[in-house]
Structure 1
Amino acid sequence: MISYAQALERLCAHVRPLAGDVCLLAAASGRVLALDVISPMDLPSFDHAAMDGYALSAKGALDAGSEHDVGGSQAAGDTATGANQRAWEIMTGAQLPAGLDTVVPVERTELLSQGHDGLPLRIRLLEPIEPGANVRLAGSDVARAERVLAAGVRIEPAHIMLLAALGIARVDVTRAPRVAIICTGKELQPDPERPLAAGHIHNSNGPYLSAALAGMGVRVLSCETVDDTADNYERAVQRGRKAGADLIISTGAVSMGRYDFVPDTLRRLGADILFHKVAMRPGKPLLAARMDDGALVVALPGTPMAVAVGFRFFIVPTLRAMQGLSSEAVLHARLDTGQQPKPGLRHFLRATLMQDAEGRLHASVAALQQPFRIRPFAEADAWVVLPEDAGDCPAGTLVQIVSMHPAASLTFMPTHVPGVTG
């Protein structure tokens, strides 16, 4: 049995980075950039007005009481014109007429005269205006040839806005990871619409893994339920490999019982067993292997919380490494409920979070932590992680916290993993 940090380091050492792909921007949300994005243009691409008012030249008088003839009107989208140093009515977003460099808001002017068509002809400034005021300069947001996004960034909606503003229609991304799921157990009933037979249970691990992987932008090739026979498990593994899975996740049949056939089956298939049994709770019997074609297999115990922990603390880091994602941040909270973890094991505890009046984050560990209990997991905000040498942790102890959801802002990556900080 090895430590959690050793197990994860060993697994990540066998990860193959995924190849690049070209993706339309409209379909890029959630994908990971394979190459840096360099801006093809200035943003804004021209000097323009930040508000409705009058464009002026700083070479003229900008004092309160100064009067200015208005030569014309410029709306957003109009072709730029020459102003010959006269004032120019201008709307928000409109390009500044040539020779003008300052905008005075309309409410800080007095209209002295206007034409029959309603256009202003002469104005007076009610207040002085600073040269260059209320103008958005070309390139002030992004300069041409500037790197705007780095490789390894997961594309979020805000990135889509930026890339679209730069006129970028396609981006280079890593190929979406391909994953096959195999749930073992003759007691599992995959069809929730069928009445449960005696001694059977609904398969919850498969739907959970499918949903969690889809939320990470992973391509789920298959989600199979097989009975407790080595031959059926072997055939399911081979189907996943044939479909091109980068990672095969199985649940159940990985411990030391008479029906726990996964380790021997993988060996028979020529797999290199990277480790089997990790000093952690829940999920100690977890196994990882590498097939001779490079596909990775992570075999999780079948208990629901062992699956949840295995996913968050082994599958997620593996998929991040495949996609070249940067490390997750480490966050902490104060324990509100004291813990006495068993020495030598890393504990992953379901907890709810709250913020006190001073803005400090607190974690309250659920009282019912048995690995078969799903409801506390559904009600939790985060995992509390207690390392192997944590010792007694009274209320007030500062502990690591990890979001239940890989895409959320509360994130965690363990230490001692290549390319990972923490």
Structure 2
Amino acid sequence: MILYSEALQHLLGAATPLPAERLPLQEAAGRTLASDIHSAQALPPFDNSAMDGFALRANGAALESGTEFTVQGWQAAGDGDAEGGEGAWEIMTGARMPGGLDTVVPIENVQILASEAGRPTRIALKSVVRPGQNVRLRGEDVAEGECVLRAGQRVDINARTLLHALGVGEVVVMSRPAVAVIATGKELVSEATQALESGQIRDSNRPYLVGRLHAAGAEVVWQGTVGDDVAAFDAALDQALAAGARVLVSTGAVSAGRYDFVPDALRARGARIVFHKVAIRPGKPLLFAVLPDGALYFGLPGNPVSAAVGQRFFVEPVLRRLLGLAQEPVLRLPLQAMVRKPPGLRVHARARVELDEQGQLSARVLSGQESFRLMSMVQANAWVVLEDEGDLVPAGSAVRVQGWGHADPVQLTGREWE
């Protein structure tokens, strides 16, 4: 049995970043940027009006209330260049500022003195107008040549919106790790609606892992369920590898029981067992191996929370490495109450991060931490990691807090905001 820190070194040492690929922007949702993106244009691309009103020339000086102007033209959104002259121009929100004009007064702050064919021809200011007000300047949001996104950032909806506005049609992103998920156990029933016979349970680990892997940036290229049968397991591995999987994740059959066949089955295939059993709770029997072709294999325990811990704290660091990401940032928050833990083990506890009336964040470890309990997974919004050697972590201790997945920040919802 090895320490988590030692296991993590083995994991990261076995993984190298994947190559990059170029994709159309509309196909890059959720992908990880492989290089920085610099804007080839300014945003806004031209000076424009922030509201409906009248464009004026202030030339750095305030315009006094009562000042009158002749309206010399009209400018709508989408109109091209125009020379503003000395007078006022009626202008719409988003319209390009006529040349020489530098200030916009809202329509409600002017008095219409004269009109012709429904268009104002002379106006007077109702109040003082500050120079430059209500104008969006060229490059005020993004300057030409500015770095707008960094390598390692995820192409989320906000990034895609910005890139589309800047005229970026393609992006260079990291290839997605190709992953397979294998659930083992003759007791497993795959279909949620299928009636259970005596001794059977539903296979909840596989859909959970598939969902978490997808959220973590991987592509699940194969998934399946096998019984406690080495031949069926070998066939599943062959199918997963044929589908292109370079990371394989299984659940169950890695402990020390009669039907825990995975370690021997891997050795029989020529796999190198890097470690088997880690000083953690839950999930101590976790196994990591490298197959003869270099594919990485994670054997996670079968209990649901043990599998979740293996995915979050063993598989996801490797996925980050494959995606070329830096070490994951973490929070350190005070514990609300004292927590007991097994000495010498790193504990991964389901917890809630909550906000008190003074606006201070703290972490509350939930009751019912047994590895078979699924309700606490629903109730939790974070993981608390207890790393101390002792068996008691006092209230107020600063502890490591991580989101449900490496790409998922802690989400504060529900009563902790009340």
Whether the 8 Å CA contact 1:331–1:410 is kept in 2: the answer is no
Matching residue of 2:192 = 192
- Alpha-carbon distance between aligned partners in 2 of 1:141 and 1:36, rounded to the nearest angstrom: 18
Name 1:69's counterpart in structure 2.
Answer: 70
TM-score by length of 2: 0.93
Task: Determine the structure 1 residue equivalent to 2:179.
Answer: 179
Shift of 1:286: 0.6
Distance 1:169 1:13 in 2: 35
Deviation at 1:407, TM superposition (A): 3.1
Report the CA distance between 1:124 and its aligned residue.
Answer: 1.5
Question: Which moves more between the two structures, 42-51 or 323-332?
Answer: 323-332
**Partner secondary structure for residue 297 of structure 2:** strand
Aligned residue type for 1:25: L
1:376-395 to structure 2, matched below 5 A, reads 376-395=376-395
Report percent identity of matched pairs: 47
Q: Tell me the TM-score normalized by structure 1.
A: 0.92
Q: Aligned runs of 1:270-419 on 2, under 5 Å?
A: 270-410=270-410
1:21 partner SS: strand
Q: Which residue pairs with 1:22 in the alignment?
A: 22
Look up the SS of the partner of 1:122 in the other structure. Answer: strand
Residues 1:306 and 1:61: Cα distance change in structure 2 (over 3 Å): closer
Gap regions ≥5 residues in structure 2: 412-418
Task: Report the residue type matching 1:205 in the other structure.
Answer: N
Tell me the distance in 1 between the aligned counterparts of 2:273 and 2:62.
80
SS in 2 for 1:11: helix
For the residues of structure 1 that align with 2:227 and 2:271, how far apart are their CA atoms? 21
Equivalent residue, structure 1, for 2:415: none
The offset of 1:23, in angstroms, is: 2.0
SS in 2 for 1:82: coil
Tell me the alpha carbon deviations over residues 150-203 of structure 1, each in whole angstroms, 9 at most, x when there is no partner.
Answer: 111111111111011111122111122211011111111223333222222111
TM-superposition CA deviations, 1:193-224 (whole Å, max 9, x none): 33222222111111111122223342211221
The residue type paired with residue 145 of structure 1 is: G
Q: Which moved more, 1:156-165 or 1:194-203?
A: 194-203
Tell me if the contact between 2:353 and 2:410 (Cα under 8 Å) persists in the aligned partners: no
Residues 44-63 of structure 1 deviation map (CA, whole Å, 9 limit, x = unaligned): 00010111111111248822
Name the structure 2 match of 1:211.
Answer: 211
Moved more, 57-66 or 165-174: 57-66
> How large is the Cα RMSD of the aligned pairs?
1.8
Residues 232, 360 of structure 1: alpha-carbon distance in 2 compared, 3 angstrom cutoff: same
- Helix, strand or coil at the partner of 1:97: coil
Consecutive unaligned residues in structure 1, runs of 5 or more? 412-422
Query: 3-state DSSP class of the match of 1:158?
Result: helix
Deviation at 1:128, TM superposition (A): 2.6
Q: Is the 8 A contact 2:349 2:369 kept in 1?
A: yes
* Runs of 4+ off more than 3 Å: none
**Which digits, 9 at most, give the CA deviation of each residue in 1:269-303, with x for residues without a partner?**
22222211110000011111122322111110111
Counterpart Cα distance in 2 of 1:47 and 1:200: 68
Letter in 2 for 1:88: W
| Residue 89 of structure 1: aligned partner | 90
Note closer, same or farther for the CA distance 1:278–1:387 as it changes in structure 2 (3 Å cut).
same
> What residue is the counterpart of 1:135 in the other structure?
135
The aligned residue for residue 240 of structure 1 is 240
| Contact preservation (8 Å) 1:177, 1:246 | yes
* SS of equivalent to 1:396: coil
Q: Aligned to 1:110, what secondary structure does the other structure show?
A: strand
Q: Cα distance, 1:357 vs. partner?
A: 0.8
Letter of the 1:255 partner, please give it. Answer: S
Deviation at 1:391, TM superposition (A): 4.3
Q: Which deviates more, 150-159 or 188-197?
A: 188-197
Partner Cα separation in structure 1 for residue 67 and residue 390 of structure 2: 73
- The Cα shift of 1:38 comes to 1.6
